[in-house]
Amino acid sequence: MGTDYVHGYTPAETRRLTEQAQTLADLLHAGTSYPAGSRVLEAGCGVGAQTLQLVTRSPGIDLVSVDISEESLAQAKARVSAAAPDARVDWRLADLHEITEEFDHVFLCFVLEHLPDPHDALVRLRRLLKPGGTITVIEGDHESAFFHPRSAAAHAVIDCLVDLQAEAGGDALIGRRLQPLLKDAGYDDVRAWPCTVYADETLPHLVDGFTRKTFIAMVESVRHRAIAAGMRTPAEWERGIRDLSKAAESGGTFHYTFFKSVGRQC
């Protein structure tokens, strides 16, 4: 179940993921907590940005955190060991296909968007859940981004990210279809809802933490790929980023919607 991670495994991407997790922690993790002693699978833990939220908000869980990148897993282990040394985390360098034991709960954040067959992944994860166990999935939808000042050039560079992720076998718009995906994969009691981020100059922590350091940084991560593929010229790319950055300046506004869904094993 490996994937071409379109954003790259770079220090800049690690910083972006960390900034995103810290800035959006209350928004994305609201309502998600597991009883102490629960056995929880975090599928695709990356550099541990969300892992830290899980062990902090659900102390006493037995967490199994899995990723296919050895480097990311090492960073995750170091991050959690430093911030939550008492957390019980079993770190696994593995593909989701290799996990066979049972869990009380499964958690995925920003994973399905990178998989060529998210339905298959969800079916396999359902088989790992004990009866009555839950799955929680969080994903974004890049077409939900709108901002002031409006700019066709800015939207064009966002579209480059969407198209490159599709070429890599993923779906940057997957958030909007979480409910039908989980339902079709056989989960019961599937619920989904939007988690909206809005940032303007009266919310400087969101302007800096999300608009600049999460979203614009994410688009910038595919600059070289987009230009090399002939999607934009260097000048067109710079204009698009410059216009997008105006949303983080005085008088600018930025809006984005994540989607969160929960299903249950029957």
- Answer yes or no: is pLDDT of 219 > 90: yes
Return the percentage of the chain with pLDDT > 70, whole number: 95
Q: Has residue 101 been placed in a domain?
A: yes
Q: What is the pTM of this model?
A: 0.92
- Answer yes or no: is pLDDT of 26 > 60: yes
Q: Has residue 5 been placed in a domain?
A: no
Confidence category of residue 2, pLDDT binned at 50, 70, 90: very low
Per the structure, the count of domains in the chain is 1
Q: Has residue 6 been placed in a domain?
A: no
Q: Has residue 44 been placed in a domain?
A: yes
Task: Print the domain residue range for 36.
Answer: 11-264
Any idea what the CATH number is for the domain that residue 253 is in? 3.40.50.150
* Residue 76 · residue 53 · CB < 8 Å: no
- Answer yes or no: is pLDDT of 11 > 60: yes
pLDDT, residue 3, reads 52
Q: Has residue 4 been placed in a domain?
A: no
User: Which alpha helices (DSSP H) does 58-192 contain, by range?
Assistant: 70-83, 118-126, 152-167, 178-184
Q: What is the mean pLDDT of the chain?
A: 94
Task: Give the distance, in angstroms, between the CA of residue 128 and the centroid of all CA atoms in the same chain.
Answer: 21
- Answer yes or no: is pLDDT of 4 > 90: no
225-237 burial, b at 16+ Cβ within 10 Å, e below that, comes to bbeeeebbeeebb
> How far is the C-alpha of 29 from the C-alpha of 133, rounded, in Å?
18
Q: Has residue 58 been placed in a domain?
A: yes
Q: Has residue 182 been placed in a domain?
A: yes
pLDDT, residue 251, reads 98
Q: Has residue 1 been placed in a domain?
A: no
**257: three-class secondary structure by DSSP:** strand
DSSP string, 159-215: HHHHHHHHHTT--TTGGGGHHHHHHHTT-EEEEEEEEEEEE-TT-HHHIIIIIIIII
> How far is the C-alpha of 189 from the C-alpha of 179, rounded, in Å?
10
The answer to which of 9-18, 118-127, 166-175, 237-246 has the lowest mean pLDDT is 9-18
> How far is the C-alpha of 232 from the C-alpha of 229, rounded, in Å?
8
pLDDT, residue 62, reads 98
- Answer yes or no: is pLDDT of 139 > 80: yes
The tens digit of pLDDT for each residue in 94-121 reads 998 899 999 999 999 999 999 999 999 9
Residues 47-65: what's their mean pLDDT? 96
